[in-house]
C-alpha cells in the first residue's frame, strides 16, 4: 500500500457514509477518522447527502426535494476513486455517475479533489420534459464561470445504456455537456458540464443511444 492513510481514508469516506465498506475497510477508515479532524469534517459534510441517496425511494424521487446538489457532488467526487470490484448496486450507481462526471467535466476538475470547492453561485431549477415513460428526471442549472452545468437527478435511465447531454445556445447551436451511463431503477445524480455560458444557454436535451430525446428543457 503506497498511498498515504489520509488520502486512502478520503477516498473511502463516501462509501463509509453509505455503509458500503467491508469490516477491514471500515476499521481502517474509523481508525483514521479518530485522529483526523479534516476527514471527520468531510464526513460530516457528505453524510446528509449519503443518507439521502441511501434512503431515496424511487417512487418519490421526483416528488421530494433533491439532496443539496453540492453534497451529492462531494459524495461522488469522494467515491470516484473507489475500487470497482464489488457488484453492489449503489457502488455501480456511483461508478456510473463518477464516470459521467469525468467525461463531462472540463480541465477545471482535472486536478482532482480540491477543484470541487463548494459552489457559491446560485442554482436554477428548470422545467424538464421527459419523453420516456421509464424515466423520471429533474434538472438544476449551475452557472459556473467556465460554463453552465446541468445537475440531473433521476431514475429509470436504461441500465448500461449511454446517454448524451447537449446544451443549445440561442441560435440552436449544440454544445456537448458530457455523457453518462444509465443505472436503471437506482436514483442517480449526475453533473453534466459544458463550456456554454449560462447567459448564452437556451435549453438542453438528453438523448439515448439512438439519438432520440429522453429529457428536454428550454429556458
Tell me whether residue 82 or residue 149 sits nearer to Zn ion (CB atom): 82
CB of 85 to Zn ion, least distance (A): 23
CB of 9 to Zn ion, least distance (A): 5
Residue with cell 480541465: 107
CB of 113 to Zn ion, least distance (A): 12
Q: Which has the closest alpha carbon to 40: 50, 48, 29? A: 29
Helix, strand or coil, per DSSP, at residue 65: coil
41 binds Zn ion (CB under 5 A): no
DSSP letter for 184, please.
Answer: B
Question: Count of CB atoms within 10 A of residue 102's CB?
Answer: 13
3 binds Zn ion (CB under 5 A): no
Instruction: Considering only the stretches 4-12, 65-73, 103-111, 145-153, report the one whose residues sit in contact with Zn ion under the rule CB under 5 A.
Output: 4-12
CB of 40 to Zn ion, least distance (A): 8
Q: Which of 12, 29, 39, 94 binds Zn ion (CB under 5 A)?
A: 39
DSSP letter for 196, please.
Answer: S
Tell me whether residue 39 or residue 177 sits nearer to Zn ion (CB atom): 39
76 binds Zn ion (CB under 5 A): no
Q: Which has the closest alpha carbon to 67: 90, 89, 82, 45? A: 45
CA gap 85, 97 in Å, rounded? 16
Tell me whether residue 36 or residue 197 sits nearer to Zn ion (CB atom): 36
CA gap 161, 32 in Å, rounded? 38
**Residue 136 near residue 130 (C-beta atoms within 8 A):** yes
CB of 37 to Zn ion, least distance (A): 8
The binding track of 141-180 with respect to Zn ion, each residue x by CB under 5 A or -, is ----------------------------------------
Tell me whether residue 32 or residue 164 sits nearer to Zn ion (CB atom): 32
Tell me whether residue 35 or residue 160 sits nearer to Zn ion (CB atom): 35
6 binds Zn ion (CB under 5 A): yes
**Residue 72 near residue 189 (C-beta atoms within 8 A):** yes
**Residue 94 near residue 79 (C-beta atoms within 8 A):** yes
Q: 188 phi and psi, to 5 degrees?
A: -145, 155
36 binds Zn ion (CB under 5 A): yes
The residues binding Zn ion (CB under 5 A) are 6, 9, 36, 39
Amino acid at each position: 500500500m503506497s498511498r498515504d492513510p489520509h488520502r486512502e481514508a478520503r477516498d473511502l469516506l463516501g462509501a463509509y457514509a453509505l455503509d458500503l465498506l467491508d469490516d477491514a475497510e471500515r476499521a481502517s477508515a474509523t481508525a483514521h477518522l479518530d485522529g483526523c479532524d479534516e476527514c471527520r469534517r468531510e464526513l460530516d459534510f457528505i453524510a446528509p447527502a449519503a443518507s439521502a441517496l441511501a434512503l431515496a425511494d424511487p417512487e418519490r424521487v421526483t416528488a421530494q426535494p433533491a439532496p443539496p446538489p453540492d453534497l451529492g457532488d462531494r459524495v461522488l467526487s469522494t467515491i470516484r476513486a473507489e475500487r470497482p470490484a464489488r457488484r453492489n448496486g449503489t457502488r455501480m450507481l456511483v461508478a456510473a455517475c463518477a464516470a459521467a462526471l469525468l467525461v463531462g467535466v472540463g480541465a477545471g476538475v482535472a486536478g482532482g479533489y480540491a477543484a470541487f470547492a463548494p459552489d457559491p453561485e446560485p442554482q436554477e431549477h428548470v422545467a424538464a420534459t421527459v419523453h420516456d415513460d421509464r424515466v423520471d428526471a429533474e434538472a438544476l442549472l449551475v452557472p459556473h464561470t467556465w460554463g453552465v452545468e446541468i445537475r440531473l437527478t433521476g431514475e429509470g435511465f436504461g441500465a448500461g445504456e449511454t446517454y448524451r447531454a447537449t446544451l443549445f445556445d440561442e441560435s440552436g447551436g449544440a454544445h456537448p455537456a458530457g455523457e453518462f451511463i444509465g443505472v436503471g431503477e437506482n436514483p442517480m445524480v449526475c453533473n453534466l458540464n459544458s463550456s456554454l455560458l449560462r447567459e448564452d444557454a437556451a435549453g438542453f436535451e438528453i438523448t439515448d443511444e439512438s439519438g432520440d430525446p429522453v429529457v428536454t428543457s428550454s429556458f
